[in-house]
Structure 1
Amino acid sequence: MLSSAGLASLRTLARYAAAIGLWGMGWGARAALIGVLPPQGFPFLTFFPAVMLATYLFGIGPGLLCAALSVAAAYASFFPHRPDGFLALDSGDLIALVFFSSILVIDCLILHLLARSKQLAAQREKDLVEITNNSPDILTRFDRQYRHLFVSGAVVRLTGRPVSDFLGKSNLEMGMPPELCAQWHASLEAVFRTAKPLTLKFDYAGLTFATQLVPEFSDVDGSVKSVLGVTRDVSEVARHERALEANDRLKDELLATVAHELRNPIATMSSGLQVLEREPGLSSSAARSLAAMRRQTHQMTRLVGDLMDLTRIRARLLDISQTELELRQIIDAAVECCHESSMRSQSQIHLAWPDAPMWVMGDAGRLIQVFTNLLSNAIKFSPDGASVTVSGSTSGPLHTVVVSDHGAGIEADMLYTVFEPFVQAPAGRSRQTGLGIGLALVKTLVDVHGGKVWATSDGPGQGASFFVQLPVAPR
């Protein structure tokens, strides 16, 4: 049995032999035209087709061989020879021989490049087909009538139907359930209308799929001429998402239960502390101990309250009233709530507030809770004796309140995560005493008031500023 190298050599020899055969046919055809054509006229007439066929069919090597043999045959058989000329040819015939030889070589090169371009285009198309067919994603292209212009081979694995069944047909014509067709058609219509990508998620054949629909634009007028769809099986991802959601619900239920069960013991301890504080003749050490216990009990009460509020909000059970409020009064109430902690740390709270009132619509108790949490954090994460600034401003339809401190600061990569539940920035870890739910509660409460909250910081030890934006109340 021949090796692959031997077979390649045989194929090469066969191509050159075929080129010689074509040259022989051209020579024979030219010889047959003697007497029909003028004497020694059109010497290359029948060699041109032979050379072009040899190059196109068998490559540039066989084509150049056929051209060389054609030049030699034309020179030997179809040019008049004179002993006194160069190569026994007069100047006119010599120029014709050189000219036509050059034309044959140029034809060989052009046909070779054309054949090569065609091969490369065919190979690219083959590679593209292989890539799309081997991809687990289903690629589709739709026209404005929602008909399939292209479908990748992955659809065969899903439906068992050949690609040809889909081309020129809509999903409805393919027998897709009407409600799913309506979902697809509405999404396609939205992409054609808005010229913006869209994500579609749907269930089919017991699986969950996600499709990214991307507009494709016309080169003529820039309109959307078709829509490309990339459909992926996300059943496993959807299963994990459902499991995470179930675990998240269980976590919320656990936190709500723990918070609820802690309320009674904390209330009992608080009542007991009140009784002990009224006892006559307390020593100074006992009074200090009771005061510390009172502070810790108050802190525990606040943490449990925040935790219960957070679980209520996540369960959409928290009621938010909507009344017209003046932000300065909200800030004053929050400052009063933080009076004890500011006195204990000798912190100074400075207000930089405009003279004009800043009216908002919202729940007074919840907004006081927002700014109390922000002020408490600013005091807690600042060194003793530091100052905290609360400023207010109005721009267009929004009021902005900024709570700034000169304390522990926040790392740059934590600025967007500090508002997540149970997240605590490393920069202030030495001063952390809570559960990391205060800022999460702040964000949630601001969100339900139609506002936004974010933080800025130059880094650890550089302090932080928290911005709260709330819509201006219509008046």
Structure 2
Amino acid sequence: MTVLGSAVGDELARLRAENAALLAQMRHRDAELEVATRMLVARAQTMTSVIDAVTEQSIIGTDVDGVVRVWNPGAERMLGLPRADVVRRRSITEFHLPEELAEAGGGLAALVRVAQEQGSDVRDWTYVAGDGQELTVSVAVTPRTDDRGVHAGWNFVGTDMTEARATERRKDQFVSLISHELRTPLTSILGYLELVLDEPDLGEQARGYLGTVELNAQRLLRLVGDLLFTAQVDAGRFTLQPGDVDLVAVVRAAEECARVTAQCTGVEVVLDVPAGGLVVPGDAGRLGQACDNLLSNAVKFTPAGGRVTLALQAAWRTPDGTVVDAPQDGAVPVARLAVSDTGIGIPAGEQAQLFARFFRASTARRHAVPGVGLGLAITRAIATAHDGTLEVTSTEGEGTTVTITLPR
């Protein structure tokens, strides 16, 4: 009996010890769960506060069926509906034009198809506000997951572009209208000038006057062409006529066109081109326009006694984007044209704005250099259309180098 009692006592002691250990483990797990819960709550509160702090963009979160679950103050402001009237009550598709959704395939699928396939999508959609007003909104769509990583719905972040798009349309219409109204009479003026200048009995003085008129008419015609070109680029209507282009011939033609102006202003133009030619795929007319722009700019911004150098060479672009003079493993062949001048240069603080249309550096304004600030913007558009790049380095008072790099 004593032995049995002792065994029972030992077993009870063991069970008590296990029970105490399990109780301690449970309390530890409870503490860990409490900490994790607090962290999740804090994270959710932080995310909510961040979303609620955004007032200029609408942030709309939906479940997998498109029912709204998140509606931030930006959405309230943009669409004119309070959160309580929308969350769990309405679908994201109710705020879109039905015909626009139908054209894209219909329903929620039209909004999320690209994001579902590619992970994200950004495009313009027409939102319909609570009062029926239609807004052009740039909407970024991304999938939303829960804490387990399971797909839980979609996020729609919208930026109201109504006024911006209307301004762009008005600007394009204005540029196209003005360009058309200017180009037609200028073409007529130049045609009649050509006829008059061909008259053998025309006096030298009159011929000189008419030559000046023709020169300025041609200048206006080029400006109209530049305005039309920028409008085409903005509207996505800029097309190329592809072919094989010998850049050596393009550079020589640009130098020949600029030679008279350079000589008149006392600027030396130096060519450094390969003897055997350098061919790239592209549009010969557009590449010639780009080269003309770079050379005329260089000559225009270089005082008398200065020098402009056109250096064309075969090169290679490495996978990290560096351009080198000799082939390397993984490098692709490119052509590099550098137009360097010893001119007035560009202040360092203004160089980031050089490719903005109608921007003119302060040095150009101080020296009264003529121009409207379209050349570099047009040249970069041409380079980009050819899958190339355009880079500018400049030191005020010392000169500027503009380099265009094109695949070959």
TM-score > 0.5 by shorter chain: yes
2:328 is matched with none
Q: Deviations over 1:140-184 (max 9, x none)?
A: 4345x4454723374892798453335xxx657999956378464
Is residue 456–residue 464 contact of structure 1 (8 Å, CA) maintained in 2? yes
- The alignment status of 1:150 with 2:69, answered yes or no, reads yes
Corresponding position of 2:346: 410
Are the counterparts in 2 of residues 347 and 384 from structure 1 also a CA contact under 8 Å? yes
Pick the aligned partner of 1:442 from 369, 379, 383. 379
What residue number does 2:139 align with?
211
The aligned counterpart of 2:222 is 306
Taking the aligned partners of 2:97 and 2:83, their CA distance within structure 1 comes to 11
- Which of 271, 276, 279 aligns to 1:351? It is 271
- Cα deviation 1:260-309 (Å, max 9, x = unaligned): 32343355456556659964xx6xxx6xx966873x44542442332332
Q: Which moved more, 1:385-394 or 1:347-356?
A: 347-356
CA contact (8 A) 1:453 1:466 kept: no
Q: Based on CA coordinates, which of the two structures has the bigger radius of gyration?
A: 1
1:97 alignment counterpart: none
1:370 aligns with 2:297: no
For 1:379, the equivalent position in structure 2 comes to: 299
Structure 1 residue matching 2:274: 3-state secondary structure: coil
Measure how far apart 1:358 and its partner are.
Answer: 1.5
Q: 1:214 to 1:378 in 2, by over 3 A?
A: same
Q: Does 1:323 align with 2:243?
A: yes
Change (3 A) 1:128 1:339: closer
Write the mapping of 1:168-317 to structure 2, written as runs, cut at 5 A. Answer: 177=98, 179=102, 182=106, 184-196=108-120, 198=122, 201-204=125-128, 205-208=132-135, 209-216=137-144, 225-226=151-152, 229-232=155-158, 234=160, 237-269=161-193, 272=196, 279=203, 294=211, 296-297=212-213, 299-313=215-229, 314-315=231-232
Query: Distance between the aligned counterparts of 2:140 and 2:287, measured in 1?
Result: 40
Amino acid at match of 1:252: S
Give 1:335 deviation, angstroms. 1.0
Separation (CA, whole Å) in 1 of partners of 2:280 and 2:88:
62
When you count strand as a share of all residues, which structure comes out higher?
A: 2
- Displacement of 1:389 after TM fit? 1.1
Please state if 1:432 is matched with 2:369.
yes
Q: Please give the residue correspondences for 1:33-182 in structure 2 after superposition, counting only pairs within 5 Å.
A: 128=48, 132=52, 139-143=59-63, 145-148=64-67, 150-152=69-71, 154=76, 157=81, 161=85, 163-166=87-90, 177=98, 179=102, 182=106
Query: Which residue, out of 335, 360, 372, partners 2:255?
Result: 335
Runs of 5+ consecutive residues of structure 1 not aligned to the other structure: 1-113
Higher RCO structure, 1 or 2 (CA under 8 Å, sep 6+)? 2
Aligned equivalents of 2:168 and 2:380: distance in 1? 22
Higher deviation after alignment, 387-396 or 305-314: 305-314
Match for 1:364: what amino acid? A
Q: Which residue of 1 aligns with 2:29?
A: none
Q: What is the deviation of 1:340?
A: 0.8
**Contact map agreement 2:62 2:70 (CA 8 A) in 1:** no
1:357 positional shift? 3.0
1:191 deviates by 3.5
The question of whether the paired residues in 1 share the 8 Å contact of 2:390 and 2:405 is answered with no
Aligned to 2:404: 468
Percent sequence identity over matched residues?
A: 19
Aligned-residue offset at 1:445: 4.1
Deviations 1:3-30, CA, capped at 9 Å, x for gaps: xxxxxxxxxxxxxxxxxxxxxxxxxxxx
Whole-angstrom CA distance in 1 between matches of 2:55 and 2:259: 64
CA distance in 2, matches of 1:330, 1:161: 65
Deviation (angstroms), 1:238? 0.7
Unaligned ranges ≥5, structure 2 = 1-33, 317-331
Residue identity in the other structure for 2:216:
M
Deviation of 1:240 (Å): 4.9
- Which amino acid in 1 is paired with 2:264? R
Task: Look up the equivalent residue of 1:436 and give its one-letter code.
Answer: G
Tell me the distance in 2 between the aligned counterparts of 1:434 and 1:428: 9
Offset at 1:412? 3.5
Which amino acid letter does the alignment assign opposite residue 207 of structure 1?
E
User: What is the aligned partner in structure 1 of residue 336 from structure 2?
Assistant: 400
Q: Distance in 1 between matches of 2:49 and 2:65?
A: 22
Letter in 1 for 2:162: A
CA distance in 1 between partners of 2:188 and 2:95 (Å): 63
Aligned length: 343
**How far did residue 327 of structure 1 move?**
1.0
Cα deviation for residue 348 of structure 1 reads 2.0
Q: 1:137 to 1:331 in 2, by over 3 A?
A: closer
